[in-house]
Amino acid sequence: MDVNKVDMFFAANKKFFPTARIPLIRDKLASLDDSRYAVISSVDLKDPTVMLLLAIFLGGLGVDRFMMNEIGMGILKLLTGGLCGILWIIDIVKISDKVKESNYAEIMMLM
């Protein structure tokens, strides 16, 4: 793939991935052909900031876990109030890293 396309992809999507994994993604993108760029750039990545806000304001109801496609944990948080607030606090601390890793896994499946 063209280096300019790779740079353009990271200019728009750098905040969606873990910082340590960016060189690996950059290398894989550079080795792909141009036809895969449209598929890769059309992936709907979750924004870590939006997920953090969801975890803060609606995390006690499990909305953040439902958005991360963790249905079982979402139901557990909904029924128990975030295990009396314990899971809610854990999710507030760890949700950004979890979202970035989820985005990384999703993009690597397509490469």
Pure H helices in 20-85 = 22-31, 35-41, 48-58, 63-67, 71-84
Region 28-54 average pLDDT:
89
Answer yes or no: is pLDDT of 65 > 90: yes
Torsions phi, psi for 44 (to 5 deg): -85, 100
State the pLDDT at residue 48.
96
Query: Is the Cα torsion angle 40, 26, 91, 49 positive or negative in sign?
Result: negative
Q: Where are the domains of the chain?
A: 3-110
Own/partner long-range contacts of 19-23 (Cβ < 8 Å, ≥24 apart) = 21/104
Residue 42's pLDDT band, with cuts at 50, 70 and 90, is confident
Read off the pTM.
0.88
State the pLDDT at residue 38.
82
Q: How far is CA 8 from the centre of its chain?
A: 19
Q: What token pair was written down for 23?
A: 């060189």
Compute the C-alpha angle 80/82/86, nearest 5°.
120
State the pLDDT at residue 62.
92
